[in-house]
Amino acid sequence: MINVGVLGATGAVGQRFVQLLADHPWFNLQTLTASERSAGKPYGKVVNWRLDAPYPDNVSDIVVTPTTVESLKDCDLVFSALPPEVAASLETEIADAGIGVCSNARSHRMDADVPLVIPEVNPDHLGLIDVQRDRGREGFIVTNPNCSTIVLALALAPLRSFEFHDVRVATMQAISGGGFAGVSAMDIYDNVVPYIGSEEEKMESETVKIMGSFDGSEVTPASFGVSASCHRVPVIDGHTIAVWVDVKEPVAEVKKVYANFKSPFSNLPLQPEKAVELLDPPDRPQPRLDRNRGRGMTVSVGRIREGLRFVALGHNTIRGAAGASVLNAELICSRKYL
């Protein structure tokens, strides 16, 4: 068992981390950090549990520590749900102190020697851990992409057998993506908000890094372009995206590569049976009905049609955040980086 901690354990993503790690077969959850105000108290007393799934009782008595390097001395690996302004320097400190960091924060995603990884898409990018170590870092930072980027990159992965240059994507994103208090009800109820700060830029830059090629020392971004239009809609969980790609192959051929898409792994605990699942009915995927496929780790794809157009969907706080980091950690372990 590997001793792990969660940084920022009381927020929306932090609670998902706790949920996924409470009974994890490989990880021993022993450290939970939060703000100074909560430090010193049992997690069960300070967390305002807002997930609709049951609260894992075995973490209730863990005494919350402040979010500092010192608090993590017994951890081999930590999961970061920190806000970017805190994550930027603290994650560096932690990694330099010899601890592995699997981060959902955006701060280091685009750093040259930090892998931005989705296990089923670019597992080889983990090789950047060696680059970090070569320059003397004892721990490491591994990041997962932004929630909507993960849905897009997984949905594009089966298409890599074809050639394409242009990707256009319109997102319909869930309110949980803004955290528990991030989106006011007056702003989103009976409404669509056609703007999410920095989201389009993240989708455009992160997607090509993930799908870029790694030569053992650096990642060369993929050569296709991404043009995103991001919108918030009144849905609790699950980002839906409408995608156009200039693939020349006929629709039937495209459907085949989706139907045959296989994850390259079979031994990671959180890995779903299908990382990408093709749905047949003409009106799917739908967030309320499909977001929990594969325990929230499957990206559903449907409506593949001329254009080439399709619709994809993924659970933004599981596959798109906490689950992404945990799956990365599982891959890191199975590849003996820990």
Instruction: Look at residue 259 and give its three-state secondary structure.
Output: helix
Query: Using CB under 8 A, which of 40, 98, 264, 307 touches a second copy?
Result: 307
Encode 123-135: b = buried (16+ Cβ within 10 Å), e = exposed.
bbbbbbbebbeee
Minimum distance between the CB of residue 240 and a second copy, rounded to whole angstroms?
A: 5
Q: Two tokens at 183?
A: 């989106």
Q: What is the DSSP string of 221-255?
A: PPS-EEEEEEEE-S-SS-EEEEEEE---S-HHHHH
- Report, in angstroms and rounded to the nearest whole number, the Rg of the chain calculated over CA atoms: 19
Does 175 bind a second copy (CB under 8 A)? Our answer is yes
Say how many residues touch a second copy, by CB under 8 A: 56
Strand pairing partners for 213? 220
- Report which secondary-structure segment, H or E, holds 18: helix 12-21
Does 15 bind a second copy (CB under 8 A)? Our answer is no
Per the CB < 8 A criterion, the answer to whether 132 and 92 are in contact is no
Q: Measured between alpha carbons, how far is 250 from 29 in angstroms, rounded to an integer?
A: 48
Choose the stretch contacting a second copy; rule: CB under 8 A; options: 16-24, 143-151, 232-240, 263-271.
232-240
Active-site entry in 108, 239, 315, 333: 239
Amino acid of residue 253: E
Q: Measured between alpha carbons, how far is 68 from 90 in angstroms, rounded to an integer?
A: 8
Minimum distance between the CB of residue 288 and a second copy, rounded to whole angstroms?
A: 4
Minimum distance between the CB of residue 215 and a second copy, rounded to whole angstroms?
A: 31
Per the CB < 8 A criterion, the answer to whether 286 and 314 are in contact is no
Minimum distance between the CB of residue 169 and a second copy, rounded to whole angstroms?
A: 9
Instruction: Look at residue 245 and give its three-state secondary structure.
Output: strand
Choose the stretch contacting a second copy; rule: CB under 8 A; options: 112-120, 126-134, 169-177, 327-335.
169-177
Task: Please compute, for residue 256, the number of CA atoms within 13 A of its CA located in the half-sphere on the CB side.
Answer: 7
Our answer to whether residue 147 is catalytic in this structure is yes
Query: Using CB under 8 A, which of 40, 182, 250, 264 touches a second copy?
Result: 182
Does 100 bind a second copy (CB under 8 A)? Our answer is no
Minimum distance between the CB of residue 167 and a second copy, rounded to whole angstroms?
A: 11
Query: Using CB under 8 A, which of 25, 36, 135, 181 touches a second copy?
Result: 181
Our answer to whether residue 239 is catalytic in this structure is yes
Residue 133 or 231: which CB sits closer to a second copy? 231
Choose the stretch contacting a second copy; rule: CB under 8 A; options: 35-43, 86-94, 154-162, 184-192.
184-192
Per the CB < 8 A criterion, the answer to whether 235 and 175 are in contact is yes
Strands 2-7, 100-103: parallel, antiparallel or unpaired by DSSP? unpaired
Active-site entry in 75, 102, 108, 147: 147
- Report which secondary-structure segment, H or E, holds 45: helix 43-46
* 37: number of Cβ within 10 Å: 11
* Site pattern 118..157 for a second copy (x: CB under 8 A): ----------------------------------------
Does 170 bind a second copy (CB under 8 A)? Our answer is yes
Does 286 bind a second copy (CB under 8 A)? Our answer is yes
Residues between 246 and 265 with contacts to a second copy, criterion CB under 8 A: none
Residue 139 or 302: which CB sits closer to a second copy? 302
In this structure, the dihedral spanned by the alpha carbons of residues 236, 241, 224 and 163, taken in order and rounded to 10 degrees, is 130
Q: Which residues bind a second copy (CB under 8 A)?
A: 12, 49-54, 168, 170, 172, 175-176, 178-195, 227, 229, 231, 233-236, 240, 242, 244, 282-289, 291-293, 302-303, 307, 309, 311
Q: Which residues are catalytic?
A: 147, 239
